[in-house]
């Protein structure tokens, strides 16, 4: 629900000329029974998946299955032949979205033998909305903006002059990876958003087009439309800039050398459940082109038609359409990164869909000092899972707007792409990891890893620590629950308890964030408790405890006080 995620500080003003309004056709979803009479087969995936998508499955051992097969083209043709306008179809959910103003045609579609049911996805609405002006948020009359002071911006150092984005980059230490050459190169990020108004004309994004890293666009809402059209929403432009901007001294994003594909799934002026169906179709497109990461600064809880509203009970990770689609995308090896939402101070303060998905990397917001931002939506999910997963800067975040200038704004719409771009850099550094392994190591090395909560999840990520942990040895989430480490923060000594008596030695290493070994020990077989002492010589700061056992490797983030 885009409007939930945009505070007044982020809005592009749009006005509707009611004198020109007309009634739009109804939109419907036809759920199909099967995929018979289909020319596509799993034996020839190149007919419906890109080579990059096929290679992702091969790399991570993900088998092709029924969900990968496209909707039967003959079914789509038969629906279209009835005289409706087919908009798009979903292979994962096996549905077809169409629009028509003729209810008799809907009745005919319901009678087709391969149609299980037909559902209306929205009421009739007024159309012909048009943007009559865009302006910098510096000039907008804010009523609910969270104060931002540029005095808290850090000075930039290292490979890039991050300009206004210095604080949001250095807070999560992604600049450390940038300095080592990991800037997202070779990683494809797909954005699902509401529009990318004039993103192709903004100097801070020029390098995307000049270097050929803008790999394509697609409008799911209005097929064939130009997603850069200035008459549509520019929210996606702002989101994109937090990752892709490369204008030293103004803004450098968290993944300045990644490749991007822009998909419009959100119809910003209205809010109907049709946008969840659009979201699924957009995620399928991201999968088919071989995207590694999806960033979605979108979410769904309440709609213009109250009968379509979600309940907290449906935020269980399995119910909402967009959540099902997000988890399906993750099962294909894609890292799905999604905003937690901006409902923290609203009657509905919980995260929405698809942020409730158990395989979705859900991102909350903090301010410039790393404190929880009150607008950031809260967990847990209805089934009591911790959400959000982590939190990055979303209050006073720097971005480039459709007007082309540097601005600051508030919303998890920014904290999500800041995280997504950073994950691209980490994945570039450790391409052998799969999406869930990458997510888990970032959570386990974040600031609240030992005591996660429903406001910031596992806390503020430390990508330097995650990288150091992975560089120390292969990370294996199968051993993350086998050890207890205390105290953390530590001073002169550490105690490590194993939940089982090992039959082989465990190699213990304490590393600084540059990967330099500061202390080590060999944990002999048969023992369940190890004491490390004499650590008073270490400087205050962050360290990685590396444990290499017969079951795998684990890296834990520790603090020396």
Q: Which domains does the chain have, with CATH numbers?
A: 25-120 (3.30.70), 162-262+311-462 (3.40.50.200), 477-560 (2.60.40.3080)
Cross-sheet strand order for the sheet of 85-90: 85-90, 95-100, 26-32, 115-120
What was the pLDDT predicted at 475?
46
Cα(401)–Cα(408) distance, rounded to whole angstroms? 9
Cis peptide before 401 (omega within 30 of 0): no
At 338 the three-state DSSP class reads: strand
**pLDDT value at position 543?**
83
pLDDT at site 149: 30
User: How many other C-beta atoms can be found within 10 angstroms of the C-beta atom of residue 484?
Assistant: 12
Angstrom CA distances, 101 to 85, 120, 303, stand at: 10, 12, 21
Measured from the Cβ of residue 22, the count of other Cβ atoms closer than 10 Å reads 8
The SS3 call for residue 152 is: helix
Q: Which residues contact 111 (CB under 8 A, 6 or more apart)?
A: none
Rg (CA), the chain: 24
Q: Which of 467, 433, 440 is nearest to 544 (CA)?
A: 467
Task: Give the DSSP letter string of 417-469.
Answer: HHHHHHHHHHHHH-TTS-HHHHHHHHHHTSTTTTS-BTTTBT-S--HHHHHHH
Q: Parallel, antiparallel, or unpaired for β 293-296 and 188-193?
A: parallel
Instruction: Quote the strand ranges of 121-264, DSSP E.
Output: 129-130, 188-193, 214-219, 246-247, 251-252, 259-264
In this predicted structure, what is the pLDDT of residue 61?
Answer: 95
Residue 18 CA to residue 24 CA, distance in Å, equals 13
| Mode of pairing for the β-strands spanning 95-100 and 85-90 | antiparallel
Question: Would you say 189 and 424 are in contact if contact means Cβ atoms under 8 Å apart?
Answer: yes
8-state DSSP, 280:
H
The pLDDT assigned to 17 comes to 34
* The pLDDT of residue 278: 93
Output b/e per residue, 166-197; b: 16+ Cβ within 10 A.
Answer: bbbbbbbbbbbbbebebbbeebbbbbbbbbbb
Residues counted in the chain: 561
Residue 344: what pLDDT? 94
The segments of the chain whose pLDDT lies below 70 read 1-24, 122-158, 268-273, 303-305, 307-308, 472-481, 501-502, 514-515, 550-553
Cα angle value 308/219/262 (rounded, 5°): 105
3-state helix, strand, coil in the chain (%, to 5): 25, 25, 50
């Amino acid at each position: 629900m885009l409007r939930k995620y945009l505070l007044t500080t982020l809005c592009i003003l749009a006005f509707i000329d009611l004198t020109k309004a007309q009634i739009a056709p109804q939109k419907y979803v036809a759920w199909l029974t099967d995929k018979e009479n289909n020319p596509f087969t799993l034996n020839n995936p190149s007919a419906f998946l890109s080579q990059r998508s096929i290679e992702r499955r091969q790399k991570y051992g993900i088998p092709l299955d029924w969900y990968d097969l496209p909707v039967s083209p003959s079914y789509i043709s038969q629906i279209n032949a009835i005289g409706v306008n087919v908009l798009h179809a979903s292979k994962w959910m096996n549905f077809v979205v169409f629009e028509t103003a003729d209810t008799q045609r809907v009745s005919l579609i319901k009678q087709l033998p391969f149609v299980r049911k037909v559902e209306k996805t929205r009421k009739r609405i007024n159309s012909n909305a048009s943007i009559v002006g865009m302006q910098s948020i510096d000039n907008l009359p804010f009523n609910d903006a969270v104060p931002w002071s540029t005095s808290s911006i850090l000075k930039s150092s290292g490979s890039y002059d991050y300009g206004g984005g210095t604080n949001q980059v250095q807070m999560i230490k992604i600049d450390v990876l940038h300095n080592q050459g990991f800037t997202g190169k070779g990683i494809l990020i797909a954005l699902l958003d509401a529009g990318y108004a004039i993103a192709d004309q903004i100097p801070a994004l020029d390098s995307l087009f000049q270097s050929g890293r803008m790999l394509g666009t697609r409008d799911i809402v209005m097929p064939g439309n130009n997603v850069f059209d200035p008459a549509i929403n520019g929210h996606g432009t702002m989101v994109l800039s937090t990752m892709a901007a490369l204008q030293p001294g103004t803004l450098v994003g968290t993944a300045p050398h990644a490749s991007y594909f822009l998909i419009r799934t959100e119809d910003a002026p209205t809010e109907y459940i049709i946008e969840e169906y659009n979201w699924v179709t957009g995620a399928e497109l991201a999968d088919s082109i071989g995207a590694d990461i999806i960033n979605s600064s979108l979410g769904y809880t309440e709609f213009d038609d109250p009968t379509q509203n979600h309940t907290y009970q449906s935020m269980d990770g399995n119910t909402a359409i967009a959540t099902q689609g997000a988890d399906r995308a993750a099962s294909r090896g894609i890292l799905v990164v999604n905003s937690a939402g901006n409902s923290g101070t609203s009657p509905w303060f919980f995260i929405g869909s698809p942020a409730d998905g158990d395989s979705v990397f859900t991102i909350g917001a903090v301010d410039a000092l790393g404190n929880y931002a009150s607008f950031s939506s809260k967990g847990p999910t209805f089934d009591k899972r911790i959400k959000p997963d982590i939190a990055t800067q979303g209050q006073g975040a720097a971005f480039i707007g459709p007007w082309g200038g540097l601005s600051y704004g508030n919303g998890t719409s920014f904290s999500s792409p800041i995280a997504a771009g950073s994950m691209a850099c980490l994945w570039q550094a450790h391409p052998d990891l799969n999406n869930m392994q990458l997510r888990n190591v970032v959570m386990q090395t974040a600031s609240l890893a030992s005591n996660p909560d429903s406001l910031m999840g596992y806390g503020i990520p430390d990508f330097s620590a995650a990288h150091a942990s992975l560089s120390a040895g292969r990370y294996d989430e199968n051993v993350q629950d086998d050890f207890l480490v205390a105290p953390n923060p530590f001073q002169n000594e550490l105690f490590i308890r194993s939940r089982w008596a090992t039959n082989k030695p465990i190699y213990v290493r304490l590393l600084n964030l540059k990967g330099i070994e500061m202390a080590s020990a060999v944990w002999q077989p048969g023992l369940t408790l190890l004491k490390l002492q004499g650590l008073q010589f270490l400087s205050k700061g962050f360290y990685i405890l590396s444990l290499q056992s017969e079951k795998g490797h684990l890296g834990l983030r520790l603090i020396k006080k």
